[in-house]
Amino acid sequence: MDFTPSTYKSLLMALQSAGYQFITFEDYCRMTEQERTQRRFVILRHDVDAKPKNSLRFAQIENSLSIRASYYFRIVPESNQPDIIRHIAALQHEIGYHYEDLSLKNGDMGKAIQAFRKHLDYFRRFYPVATICMHGAPTSPYDSKDLWETNNYRDFGIIGEPYFDMDFDEALYLTDTGRCWDGFRFSVRDKVPQQEEWSRMGLTFHSTKHIIRWLERGWKRGEPLCNLMITTHPQRWTPWPLAWIKELVLQTTKNIIKSYIINHRK
């Protein structure tokens, strides 16, 4: 079965065997251009949309392998569980804010930026938050990134937002959106412009096993492997067969709805 915590652990171990250095997104933002080109790194980004307990499980697995990752929490109760945030921070991971203020405030820029400030202050009680990441909210008509058309997150002491500050010409982006690794075609907002070129280069993977095989082949042949940003939504990764089936059905249905939204917008 794919998308279980043990598959995730296998992926981490394959990345370790391939010689990847694990950095947080905050580390990446603080690195110099020279450091970025000298190291082969992977950034593990976790968007905690719901079921934060699953994220804690991921955080523990990573910690057992001496790996640090970046966890982005939403302000809503299905994500924001103080005890879990505290626990994940104590495991040496980065905590960031998974913001959606513009959609929470129905597009009102003034109200949204006030809410953003308040929510950022809240998360800074747990960790000195330095990076943020937009929550996609596919069914909302508002794109929360638009908040930065008239505001600057750097004024809030934020040094990075992956959709603006990650150079995807120097790192391949893999995301489990739609509960597969090639679901970007179903994604309303979680996409980067380089995706089409990667597809042409054959750098697309359906299952976690495909990624592991690609890594194994690369390091056995001594081929240069590219830098990576791997985004997961740990709520989709479950060890329980019933929850696993439920998640599969739900994601398949969601993909159909998202395809409709994408085609409808064209």
List interacting residues with Zn ion (CB under 5 A): 47, 49, 135
Q: Under a CB-based contact definition with an 8 Å cutoff, are residues 96 and 25 in contact? A: yes
Name which of 135 and 179 has its Cβ closer to Zn ion.
Answer: 135
Q: How far is the CB of 106 from Zn ion (least distance, A)?
A: 18
Name which of 49 and 143 has its Cβ closer to Zn ion.
Answer: 49
Q: How far is the CB of 13 from Zn ion (least distance, A)?
A: 26
Angle, alpha carbons 61-83-5 (nearest 5°):
25
Q: How far is the CB of 262 from Zn ion (least distance, A)?
A: 17
Residue with tokens 């970007």: 184
Name which of 49 and 176 has its Cβ closer to Zn ion.
Answer: 49
CA quadruple 224, 227, 233, 234: dihedral sign: positive
Q: How far is the CB of 163 from Zn ion (least distance, A)?
A: 12
Name which of 235 and 238 has its Cβ closer to Zn ion.
Answer: 235
Q: How far is the CB of 96 from Zn ion (least distance, A)?
A: 12
Q: Which residue's Cβ has the minimum distance to Zn ion?
A: 135
In this structure, which amino acid lies at residue 143? D
Name which of 49 and 182 has its Cβ closer to Zn ion.
Answer: 49
For 242, residues 6+ apart whose C-beta sits below 8 A from its C-beta are none
Of 123, 191, 200, 196, nearest to 162 by C-alpha is 191
